[in-house]
Each structure stands twice: as C-alpha cells, then as structure tokens.
Amino acid sequence: MEYSLFFHNLYAFWSSPVKKKLILLSIMFLIWVYMLYSCVGYCSTMPSLVVESYRGKETGSAVGKRTESSRTDLVSRLLAKPQPWEDIESDYEEPSIRTAASRDLLNNELDSDRAEDWDEMHGEHQRAPEPSAMSSFSNGSGSKKLPQAIIIGVKKGGTRALLEFLRVHPDIRAVGAEPHFFDRNYDNGLEWYRELMPKTLEGQITMEKTPSYFVTREAPARISAMSRDTKLIVVVRDPVTRAISDYTQTLSKKPDIPSFESLTFKNRTTGLIDTSWSAIQIGIYAKHLDNWLQYFPMEQILFVSGERLISDPAGELGRVQDFLGLKRIITDKHFYFNQTKGFPCLKKAEGSSKPHCLGKTKGRTHPNIDPEVVQRLRDFYRPFNMKFYQMTGHNFGWD
C-alpha cells in the first residue's frame, strides 16, 4: 500500500508541467557546473603540459630558445627594478692595415668590445630602465617608432655620456645598446630595426646612438632612405686625443699590442702618417662629413664638442635640446663634477635616487706618448681641422 502511494505521489509531482521544468533546469545546471569545474581543472594543467612537451621535442632547437627567451624577456620587463646605469660602447669595423700583428689586433677589437659590453651590462651595476618604460609597458600605451634623431658619431668622442644625459629628459626615449643597423644589420630590414626601439608616447622622441655610422660610407644614404627628416648628432673631440683614447681602449684589453708610435707611422723615419689605421682615419672629420652632406643639409646635423661636454655639460645639453625642439629641462642642477674620474656625472640617474657616473671603461688613464709623435699628429690633422671648422661654421679650438 505504501509502495503504491509513493509511486502515485511521484507520478502526481512529475505530471505537473511547472515542476517538471524546474527539475529539468536543475539537472542541466548541475551538468553545466560539473563541466565547468572539469574544464577549469584540466585547463589549469595545460600550459605546463604543453611547455614540458614542447621542451622535450624542441630541446636545443632555435624555436625552443626563442620561446624561452620571449617568456624570459616578458617576465623580466614586468619585474624589472630600477638599477644604476653603466655605459656601453662598441668599436668600429677596422680597415686593413700594414702589419699582421696590428691587423689581427684590429680584427679582434669587435669581439673584445662585445665582451666588454657584456661585462658592463651584467656586472655589479647594471643600466637603469629607460624613462617611463614600466608605465608604458604595463598600460600598453605608446608605440614603437623609427628614430627621429640619431647620434651617429664619433667613437671615443663622448657619445655614451651624451646619450645617458639625454635620457634624463622625459620627452626622449632611447635604445641603450648600439643597434648598428645602418652598418652591420641593414639586411634585417626596417621592421627589425623598429622592434628594437622603445615605446613612445605622443610628443616623445625616439633616439639611438651608434658612433660607427659617421665613418660608414653607406650609412648616410640608408638613413636618408628611412627618413630625410632624421636629425643627426655628432660628438667630436680633438682628433689627436681621440686617437690616443681609441688606442688606450684597445690596450686595456690587449696589453701586448704594438706601440702607439709604431702604429701611427707607415715609416717613422720619413714621418709619413698611416691613415689606414682607423684610430687615425676616424679623426679626419671633414672627409667623413663630406659624405653626409650629399644626403643631409647642414641644418639637420648638430656638432657637439666632446671637450665642452666635460667642461660645460649643461651648456652642450641646452644646444642639443634646442636642436631637437624640446624644452630645456636638463640644466646645471642635474650634474656634478667627479674629481676622481675627471668628468661630470648625473646627480640622479633615471630610475635611481643616487648619483651615478659612467662606468670603468670611461676615463682610462692614457699611456705616455712621445711628444714628437703627438706634435706630428697635430701637424697632420691641422688642415683637416681647418676645413672642418669652415664646413661647420664652428672653431672647436683643437689647434
């Protein structure tokens, strides 16, 4: 009797259309919740499974390295902390010269500089992140643009100092390392070059610096093809002092190289200067400038004095800011003179609350050079300097 009553009540409950719909909806809801729960549990394990499977298949492959590198780059950009900046500067490609010993020296300078750059970037002090890099990345604002201004030279003139000083300006975003696009990496294409640039907001200027451009014959035409409106900055320095500084940099890494005097002359007896040695050739500024003026008007090129960048950094930075059409924000208050190093430093670098100077690769003590050789070099450079003064309309006072 009770058995029949149970089925009778069940039939009566099920026969009600409203109650039937409620039961069906409840069952569907429970199935949906179960499927959602199962999917969440499964999907949460998928990334690690895919990565592990991918790693297993692609170990040692270029694709695997690119994937791991991109993940590492993303994490490092998200978690980057402000750090003191250090300088990075690479050498030019060297032309062939007369002796096997010095030719080997010059051919190996690029690899040596790359090692020096690595030490600077991964040493005790690392470079600070570019201004506003974290904010632009985190909110997705800004876009990567081809540079509107480039520091094109010269090596050992003060290009690293100028770039680091300029990066204090909120309207300048610059690549830290030297891209070497217009001399060594041009075949990679403009999109590759653009991807190296930092994101910029409206009104900000994108910059890079590669000192070897100034002496690269193809560079002016290539930059002009990118944009004829590109503003060019050249940091120049007494060519004799620059040559000695160039040699000093190489000597610090290769103590067994020939003497400065032996590399300077083709024949010491006749006093004939060897212009095929790049340390000498770079300082013939008028010759290199001639090549640039075939593609760019003089008003698009600013010449910064390497000497004044030391004695009056705020003054030279004022000229650069005017040239770039920016408000003069970088002033005397940003600098102090470091007596030990012998050059100005920033009181407060971007991303740091402490004073910072360029690294150990700057301000090296020059070796003693025979005064007669120095004088012979000054005599050699004098006519080239005079022509350079006339071309630029500025006497740099090197004579």
Residue 39: per-residue pLDDT: 60
Q: In this structure, is residue 10 part of a structural domain?
A: no
pLDDT in tens, 200-245: 999 999 999 999 999 999 999 999 999 999 999 999 999 999 999 9
Q: What is the CATH number of the domain that holds 240?
A: 3.40.50.300
Binding residues: 156-160, 237, 245, 362-366
255 lies in some domain: yes
* Overall average pLDDT of the 344-362 stretch: 63
Residue 67 lies in a domain: no
Known binding positions for 3'-phosphoadenylyl sulfate: 156-160, 237, 245, 362-366
Domain count, the chain: 1
Distance CA 62, CA 65 (A): 5
Q: Quick one: pLDDT band at residue 175, thresholds 50, 70, 90?
A: very high
pLDDT averaged over every residue in the chain: 76
Q: Residue 63 has what pLDDT?
A: 40
Does the residue 150 lie in any domain? yes
Using pLDDT thresholds of 50, 70 and 90, give the confidence band for residue 73. Answer: very low
pLDDT confidence band for 351 (50 / 70 / 90): low
Q: Is residue 35 part of a domain?
A: no
Q: Is the pLDDT of residue 360 over 90?
A: no
Lowest mean pLDDT among 55-64, 197-206, 243-252: 55-64
Q: Residue 113: which pLDDT band, with cuts at 50, 70 and 90?
A: very low
186 within domain boundaries: yes
226 within domain boundaries: yes
- For residue 261, give its domain range: 100-392
Question: Is it the case that residue 318 has pLDDT exceeding 50?
Answer: yes
- Label each residue of the chain as H, E or C: CHHHHHHHHHHHHHCCHHHHHHHHHHHHHHHHHHHHHHHHHHHHHHHHHHHHHHHHHHCCCHHHHHHHHHHHHHHHHHHCCCCCCCCCCCCCCCCCCCCHHHHHHHHHHHHHHHHHHHHHHHCCCCCCCCCCHHHHHHHCCCEECCCCEEEEECCCCCHHHHHHHHCCCCCEEECCCCCCCCCCCHHHCHHHHHHHCCEECCCCEEEEECHHHHHCCCHHHHHHHHCCCCEEEEEECCHHHHHHHHHHHHHHHCCCCCCHHHHHEEECCCCEECCCCHHHHCCCHHHHHHHHCCCCCHHHEEEEEHHHHHHCHHHHHHHHHHHCCCCCCCCHHHEEEECCCCEEEECCCCCCCCCECCCCCCCCCCCCCCHHHHHHHHHHHHHHHHHHHHHHCCCCCCC
Q: Check pLDDT > 60 for residue 112.
A: no
φ/ψ of 22, rounded to 5, equals -65, -40
Mean pLDDT of 284-305: 98
Residue 29 lies in a domain: no
Q: Which residues are catalytic?
A: 156
The pLDDT of residue 7 is 52
